[in-house]
Amino acid sequence: MEYHSQGMRLSEVQLISENEYGRVTVCEDLSSSERTRYAVYITDDHEIISKLHRVYHNATNIPSDTEISYFSDQGHFLVVFPYVPARELLKFYMGSTMPIPECEEVFKNYVITCMTSNLPWPVLYLALSQSQVNVARDGSVYLSYSFDLSGLNEEIKEGDCVALCVRDLMDMLSQKPANIRWDLRELLTKRSKRAVFTRFTELYRDIEVASGRNRKGGFFRRILLWFSDNKDQLFRVFLTISIILVIFTIVTFLTNAIFGDVPWLRLFIRSFERIGTQSLTE
């Protein structure tokens, strides 16, 4: 299926999702030499497009000249966003193995991405609720735009988006074992129960404050945090070494009891019977 606008020939290459209101697809621009790809929402519902237009027109968190790219063709309305390959945050975040400072950097990147997304709050809410938050291999966080617009709610405010962000952060915080002390986890748990976050700046400030506590104490503080964060792995290593030593001791005792001698100790002793050209046994 192809759709034509004044400057593009969009050909569907992948269906992302579909319902009674429309479908989300990845389209390729055949008129572009680079075959640029876009995330495209296709619908026949005039009300969805009207809502989207009002949301952008009335948005207070984005520049007033920010426009939404959409056009109509063959009786369909097409809303065009940049196509960004997804690497879903909640699937690829490795919080169970990452050091706490690195985890907190990912959280701060998440909040900054939301604050600078250039999406009106109702549209950002759809992105967050439909798992369009992604994490790169270097820990940076970015949004993709393959979301369904049929659930667009013009009444959504910043606080609603913050609540979704906190929900995701709590899911990621829970990946660390409960016995690992984490100031940020304790802080967000207490504050989220009181639903006190209404702005992303408030959430960012709390994350920064809590992560600052972990940085206090300098080098030795970081060493203690590392041992605390990896004590389970260290325990397994020491347990393995202890088992090997116990086995070695038992074998040594049995060898001495049966043969009256321990061969590997004899080899060790004999290595000192001659030093250079001098024999210590003569």
Rounded (5°) CA angle 258-263-265: 115
In this structure, what token pair is assigned to residue 214? 């972990």
pLDDT one-digit tens code per residue, 16-29: 999 999 999 999 99
* CATH 3.90.550.10 for domain 2-82: no
- Per the listing, tokens 């639903």 go with 195
In this structure, what token pair is assigned to residue 208? 């920064």
Reply yes or no on whether the pLDDT at 282 is more than 50. Answer: yes
pLDDT one-digit tens code per residue, 33-88: 889 999 999 999 999 999 999 999 999 899 888 888 889 988 899 999 999 999 99
Task: Report the 10 Å Cβ neighbour count for 3.
Answer: 20
pLDDT one-digit tens code per residue, 245-263: 888 778 777 776 676 666 6
Task: Say what percent of the chain tops pLDDT 90.
Answer: 46
In 3-state terms, what secondary structure has residue 13? strand
pTM over 0.75: no
The separation between CA 244 and the C-alpha centre of its own chain, rounded to angstroms, equals 39
- Per the listing, tokens 């000192």 go with 272
Over residues 230-236, the mean pLDDT reads 64
Task: Say what percent of the chain tops pLDDT 70.
Answer: 81
More confident residue, 208 or 231: 208
In this structure, what token pair is assigned to residue 129? 């609720």
Domain ranges of the chain: 2-82, 89-229, 231-273
- Class of residue 133 by CB neighbours under 10 A (exposed 0-12, middle 13-18, buried 19+): buried
> What is residue 3's predicted lDDT score, i.e. its pLDDT?
87
Sign of CA dihedral 189, 193, 195, 196: negative
Q: How far is CA 105 from CA 83, 149, 256, in A?
A: 25, 30, 57
pLDDT one-digit tens code per residue, 179-203: 787 888 888 888 777 767 889 999 9
